[in-house]
A and B are shown apart, each in its own frame.
Chain A
Amino acid sequence: MLDVLVGGLMATLLVGSLYTLMALGITLTYSVSRFANFSHGEFSVIGMYIAVACFEGFKLPYYFSLPLSFLVPGAVLLVAYTFVYRPLEERRASPIIIVVSTFAVAIALRYVVYIWVDGYSREIGRNLLAYPPLITKPLAVFHGYTIADNFVLALVIMVALTSALHFFLHQTKTGRAIRAIADNVDLARSKGIKASLIKSFTWFMAGGLAGVGGVFWATYTTISPEAGWLVLLKAFAAAIIGGMVSINWTIAGAFIISFSENVLMRFVWLFFGISLAYQPLISFLAIAIVLLLRPQGLMGIKLRRA
């Protein structure tokens, strides 16, 4: 019993960190642009496959791919934002229409990834479309559970990136500009903040964070281009717990989801025999409960109007 708890808690920390990285982007972009980005999951998938390519192509450990896994998804999301989402946003299209466009971008990107991975698979003669978790280096053993380097790295990077983000948002001029835009775009503009530049920068960061999250996802579970749906579902569940605007509550949300999946679910399975295959349902339940009971998120502040 204790072992189940220890194993579950350790998985909670690892998975919570990667959910945090994935969910922060949704909260950031929703804060500045006021529409939900349904293509977010694909940027994690791009990050995953950069890590796989790094391992398969250059025989390097997965963490060497981290800089690229930040830059490439960030750049791709920036392109999508600049050429699709921003024109729609500026036209004041209804949120439904923008959401559909993010959905379309998601599927288009997914199949670009499919084509790339398919070609690359043929080149190296190994099927990458369903790929096992990347190899990690075990560092220590704790209660019968191996602590590998991905566990330590994910935690360190998550803490480093979120504190950097916190510092950035609260202490730097650009960060304060982002928060001002999240608060009230028109007011921020009237104070001379270049809203479009700051927004583009936020979108770039969101893509980068998702990509880094994807690298750790790749060390934790099997990888396929279809993972985008799962990432999206979990990232949204965490972001919705934070009401889509609160960074701190998004982090809390990521750990709440992760704890329910890795600890509560295991006990439900032990005591009631409910299959672990139902694990993805937890995110849905979290979304449904939060939205139907407290549409403004758990933190109790009212959502600011767009």
Chain B
Amino acid sequence: MDVASFAISIMTWFGIYALLSLSLNLELGYTGIPNFGKVAFFGIGAIASGALASRLMLAIAGMPIDISSREALFKAGDLIAQTPLTFPIFIFSIVVGASVAAVFGYLSSYPAIRLKADYLAITLLAFGEVVRIIARTDESIINGPYGVIGILNPYRILGGFQTSLLYAVTVWVIVALVFLFIYKLINSPYGRVLKAIREDELAAESLGKNSVKIKQQVMIIGSAIAGMAGAIYIHHTGSVQADTFVPLITIYIWVMVMLGGRGSYMGALVGSGIFVVMDQVLLAVATTYKEILFINVNYLKQIIFMLILIFVIMKMPHGVVKEKAVKTPALSLVEEELSHAGSREGS
């Protein structure tokens, strides 16, 4: 693989991880919901869009809807790749992934608003495993343990380099939109309410903020973003297998958010960037020194990531990018008022 396509592949993964860490940061960093089941919503998005997009592809190609047949899926993919329908299928996939994940996010907000942090953590962790076990066992969703393959990249007709380049650009357009959305959300009075709930739920409620409703909304938004990332992921890899969605992914996202800095939208991006680069560097080292290293570098990689996480928790709990005060219109009005008052007093 040449350098350019390598860089593009990294950018695509970076985009997917950035979406996931932005969504965890919204929940954990701003609202204080410790979502230990992030992989569940990523998985739900991927599984739902994989199940529906593959069936849609077969339906459009006029074939019997049987996702267990690899040949049929590949044939349908070849047929549809010739038509301009590929992009609408991709959009459909993202919408499906985001909305199904949002529904489950709403359902799981039920425990999220009631339980203490560590109880919530085990509930959501278990929920992630439930999603994986059901998807792996029930063959009617994504063909059980075999998964669905042949999911179409929206730019497949261009072929090779251009396909991956355009896909990476599309992913980053989506990341930019999500980032803008979160930026606007956080720097609005709503963002201040989120932080108030994180700091002291009781105090926020005493000021008339409905913390239950707001936590529900945050879970819905965060899960929708994670579901979107799931749909993007399957169109990138072309397949979806239930056993991809292990709790290890959740802890990766936690590494990114904790490393980048909780409660900082830039932190989420920086954290996922550092993670992706380190991941690739370690992989490159592994392939270069395959003969010298007697241990599997994939194992060593996990240990290094976890040691980094422990180090961050113990020595730099704020992460790389420190949390900044929100920039809301109300706050700047107050500051203006104060400076006016100050100048009046001075004169």
Residue numbers in A under 8 Å from B295 (CB-CB): 115, 118-119
Q: In the complex, which of the residues A100, A283, A292 contacts B111, with contact meaning CB atoms closer than 8 Å? A: A292
Residue numbers in B under 8 Å from A103 (CB-CB): 36, 251, 254
Q: In the complex, which of the residues B110, B127, B254, B305 contacts A292, with contact meaning CB atoms closer than 8 Å? A: B110
Q: Indicate whether B116 reaches chain A with its CB closer than 8 angstroms.
A: yes
- A115 and B310 contact, CB distance less than 8 A: no
Known contacts A101-B313, A107-B248, A280-B129; A236/B303 CB under 8 A: no
- B117 and A233 contact, CB distance less than 8 A: no
B296 — nearest CB in chain A belongs to which residue?
A118
Q: Indicate whether A36 reaches chain B with its CB closer than 8 angstroms.
A: yes
Residue numbers in A under 8 Å from B129 (CB-CB): 229, 233, 280, 284
- B309 and A104 contact, CB distance less than 8 A: yes
- Interface size, chain A (Cβ < 8 Å): 43
Number of A-B contacts (CB under 8 A): 128
Stretch at the interface among B118-126, B180-188, B207-215, B265-273: B118-126
- A97 and B137 contact, CB distance less than 8 A: no
CB contact list, A259-306 vs B, under 8 A = 275, 277-278, 280-281, 283-284, 287-288, 291-292, 295
Residue among B121, B122, B133 with the most chain A CB within 10 A? B122
* Interface bin, chain B: 35 or more
Residue numbers in B under 8 Å from A108 (CB-CB): 302-303, 306-307, 310
Residue numbers in B under 8 Å from A217 (CB-CB): none
**Interface residues as binary, B294-337 with A (CB distance below 8 Å gives 1, 0 otherwise):** 11100110110111011001100100000000000000000000
B126 — nearest CB in chain A belongs to which residue?
A284
State the CA gap A225–B251 with chains docked (Å). 17
- B296 and A100 contact, CB distance less than 8 A: no
Q: Indicate whether A142 reaches chain B with its CB closer than 8 angstroms.
A: no
- B310 and A84 contact, CB distance less than 8 A: yes
Residue numbers in B under 8 Å from A105 (CB-CB): 306, 310
Closest chain A CB from B342 CB (angstroms): 37
Closest chain A CB from B214 CB (angstroms): 18
- B258 and A100 contact, CB distance less than 8 A: yes
B255 — nearest CB in chain A belongs to which residue?
A104
Residue numbers in A under 8 Å from B114 (CB-CB): 292, 295
B33 — nearest CB in chain A belongs to which residue?
A96
B311 — nearest CB in chain A belongs to which residue?
A104
- A97 and B115 contact, CB distance less than 8 A: no
Closest chain B CB from A252 CB (angstroms): 19
Residue numbers in A under 8 Å from B45 (CB-CB): none
State the CA gap A94–B120 with chains docked (Å). 14
28 sample A-B contacts, Cβ–Cβ < 8 Å, listed by A number? A36-B119, A36-B121, A36-B122, A38-B125, A87-B314, A94-B117, A100-B254, A101-B309, A104-B306, A104-B309, A104-B313, A107-B302, A108-B302, A108-B306, A111-B300, A111-B303, A115-B296, A118-B295, A236-B126, A280-B130, A281-B133, A281-B134, A284-B126, A284-B130, A288-B111, A291-B115, A292-B110, A295-B116
Please report B residues at the A interface, Cβ cutoff 8 Å: 28, 32, 34, 36, 110-111, 114-119, 121-123, 125-127, 129-130, 133-134, 136-137, 246-248, 251, 254-255, 258, 294-296, 299-300, 302-303, 305-307, 309-310, 313-314, 317
Please report A residues at the B interface, Cβ cutoff 8 Å: 35-36, 38, 84, 87-88, 93-97, 99-101, 103-105, 107-108, 110-112, 114-115, 118-119, 226, 229, 233, 236, 240, 275, 277-278, 280-281, 283-284, 287-288, 291-292, 295
* Additional 7 contacts, C-beta under 8 A, given A100-B313, A101-B313, A281-B134: A105-B310, A107-B305, A111-B302, A114-B299, A240-B122, A284-B126, A295-B116
